[in-house]
Chains A and B, each alone.
Chain A
């Protein structure tokens, strides 16, 4: 069985780097992007099982990522993370087709559990 592929989009390098490191340790294949444009370009080439995206970013934001992903790959799960201050927006996002949502700081273990659940659900 090949490793599940996960994409991280967050405009802060530290978030992507840390998420990549810990998810790779669990055997996932991970690609991290600092903004959404190149990430969506990449998505056109290849499908990812789970996308973890920041909600509030310059340019294309997390909601738009969600819409694009769902249009391209309805099966792909999207997990939204955001600064605590953006709770209202996050609740808004949850009304959409978001698999899960976490305010930052995110406990990595919880994120991993959520990813596992996202992958199981599909099968």
Chain B
């Protein structure tokens, strides 16, 4: 029996550390909790403001950046200080995480480069915050591989840091500095520089790293693999393709001398006269652009080519695929005729097909390099792609375009087994159409308006697709690519869908939620707090969500092609300003949220990568701290008198008011429901009192039920003999911590319910109950299935359920708490009648339909 109690204690988080720590008076604890929340909210507001100001709609200067970051940093420090007081320094690592992130941000603000000291990174370890070090090409491909699951050949990046080392080791940094000072980029100087590079030696570090990388490639792909070695200059993304500016070496054997030679050639190509004048045009002086390199295992291509995801001339919504036999260099360099397939992006049908005579093809030559050969006469006029392959390529291309929110120029290859690989993806430069978009939305005539100007704009843009309504979190798994996500509440769990979602619309939610910052990060057009989108929009219906630059938001019935197309035409713009991109880069360490799910092992200070992560961690752990302390705090009882709550039902609740929770004139030992002013307690009791909820008739227990409940009779969690047999509610005007034991099971609820959505949370724990284990499990299932309907995130452990929901509005909190009150009452004794699994579903349906009397 003791063992069982011990187990339950540990399930409740009653672990060793807390016994050793001094207990704080609960009202002090609660005050600190609110201080943490206030500082947290100030921080989130500054993050939101910075995101908006650095979003391209404002002219800002370094003064703005440093002053707003210093405000942010101050609020983070305050938050951390209150948090440490609240948790009694339980998370010392958090300060280190803050220091680490602060260091990265300060480097960006003051333009100190090279935050990384790694020379080589394989793509699977290449994170988005390394994109400056690995260059645009590497970063985009690694992102597609890691986030979107696109098939990319095995590859590693040689970083810009390695480039710095290489140049410094060979005395070239000074040479370039003096050329820059003289403003001398004459061709003979450049030629001398290129020669120096080719004659230079690799720094020992880099040599070791390269040789390790080659060994790794051999172990993954075999000795016969070869590499494509290409430039990935620091800023070789955005609108600047640098197309054809730098060297690409194909079919480099996997051995040190060949890689070294190829590496130097690629680096040297940074200093050709053409590349230099191109760089000048973009505002770089010589030496300002650093060169990372991409080393990718060469695909032995049966066919390869290029895809444009829109028509570059006018942005029309069609995909153009060009394709040749063999390696793709033939397409890029225009060496032979190529097949053209034009696919309608909306319907997916092939609109146009031209099969050219492909006289020659380029293939890898034994021992390195490439060779141009004549195509077999029988193959010259055959299509180099099947209809199936065209379709498949289109799907991949469209998903990449959607991911980057920009038309794409994509290189691909299909190997001899028919496997498709993506070799490069970069923004497609469109021909300027000179026509400026004005406020009115042309092209939408004839489309019924489903929702107009309700809700709050989180992220502007246009997205179209089929409505997919998510009512329970597990439905996330079925979300189809390209759909419009519609849900009751916003949730940071949606981050998993953001690479695929065309738009997001929710009934509730706020523009400062965690999800909102993720939407902005992924640039998914997002509208929240629309009231009733889940009611107005039908599952499977095709819609177009359009939010223009004046924040006019309209959801049209059907796909409005003109809007979708012109949304893609609008790209570019401020992204072309290098200084702007450089400064905006600091947002990477501020606003993205990586700590999504507090129930995973990754929810640690060490995994915090941004200021937002830090604040999220603090928020989550503060709530946890409060929950545990409220439950176990003896000091509450010593300091505050508990009064009995008189109700029509025998709930036996003692109330301890720590501030503004009761409206009490006299000092009598009891209060009525009408005297409760605590919002959450009122809502819960209202639910419990709902007609039909309280089953008072005893349900017969069978013998084994009776025995198992005997085993669990002992007081497992409370040490206060004075209140044994009572249920305890610790309340303030906005707070409730409620411990309820009904019959043989135990509910614990902790919530904070304010007008500020971001402060709000509900934690709900349910454990135990009489009856045998299978019936207990059924009740747990029943409760879980109902809680999921209300949007809770659930975790099980035996017959313990932990459910949590946060960041929902005041009204939504009241509704949810009312339902929780009903659920607590409804399930009090139900497990005794849950004889089979079908009963779980039946009772769950009844409850959700408001039928409580079955």
**Chain A interfacial positions (CB closer than 8 Å to B):** 10, 12-15, 17-19, 21-22, 25-27, 81, 83-85, 104-109, 111
Contact = CB atoms under 8 A, between A and B. Distances in A.
B724 interface: no
Contacts of A109: 57, 549
Nearest to A111: B59
6 contacts: A14-B60, A14-B580, A21-B576, A85-B63, A105-B53, A108-B59
Given A21-B574, A22-B573, A22-B574, A14 B62 contact: yes
A105 B60 contact: yes
Interface string B565-580: 0000000011011111
Given A14-B580, A17-B579, A104 B573 contact: no
Interface string B584-605: 0000000000000000000000
A13 to B, nearest CB: 5
A81 B57 contact: no
Contacts, number: 64
A107 B549 CA distance: 13
A111 B63 CA distance: 19
A112 B112 CA distance: 33
Contacts of A105: 53, 58-61, 64
Contacts of A104: 59-61, 63-64
B436 A18 contact: no
A14 B577 CA distance: 8
Given A26-B436, A107-B57, A109-B57, A83 B577 contact: no
A48 to B, nearest CB: 18
B583 interface: yes
Which secondary structure characterizes the binding site on chain B? helix
B283 interface: yes
B573 A14 contact: no
Given A17-B580, A22-B574, A25-B573, A10 B61 contact: yes
Of A10, A12, A14, A104, chain B has the most CB atoms within 10 Å of the CB of A14
Given A14-B579, A18-B580, A83-B63, A106 B574 contact: no
Interface in B54-88: 57-64
A108 B58 contact: yes
Nearest to B49: A105
B65 to A, nearest CB: 9
Nearest to A86: B63
Contacts of B583: 14
A12 B549 CA distance: 27
Contacts of B574: 18, 21-22
Given A83-B63, A104-B63, A17 B58 contact: no
Given A26-B436, A105-B53, A105-B64, A15 B59 contact: yes
A107 B579 contact: no
Contacts of A17: 283, 577-580
B524 to A, nearest CB: 23
Given A21-B574, A21-B576, A26-B436, A14 B57 contact: no
A85 B57 CA distance: 21
Cβ-closest 4 pairs across A and B: A105-B60, A14-B579, A105-B58, A106-B59
Given A81-B59, A109-B549, 12 more contacts: A10-B61, A12-B61, A13-B579, A14-B60, A17-B578, A25-B573, A83-B64, A104-B60, A105-B53, A105-B59, A106-B60, A108-B57
Nearest to B578: A17
Interface string B76-117: 000000000000000000000000000000000000000000
Contacts of B62: 12, 14
A100 B171 CA distance: 52
B61 A14 contact: yes
Of B61, B283, B577, chain A has the most CB atoms within 10 Å of the CB of B61
A16 to B, nearest CB: 9
B44 to A, nearest CB: 19
Contacts of A26: 436
Contacts of A18: 59, 574, 577, 579-580
Contacts of A84: 64
B58 A107 contact: yes
B581 to A, nearest CB: 10
A14 to B, nearest CB: 4
A46 B58 CA distance: 29
Contacts of B58: 105-108
Contacts of B576: 21
Contacts of A21: 573-574, 576-577
Nearest to B432: A25
A81 to B, nearest CB: 7
Of B57, B436, B583, chain A has the most CB atoms within 10 Å of the CB of B57
A18 B61 CA distance: 10
A108 B54 CA distance: 12
A57 B579 CA distance: 19
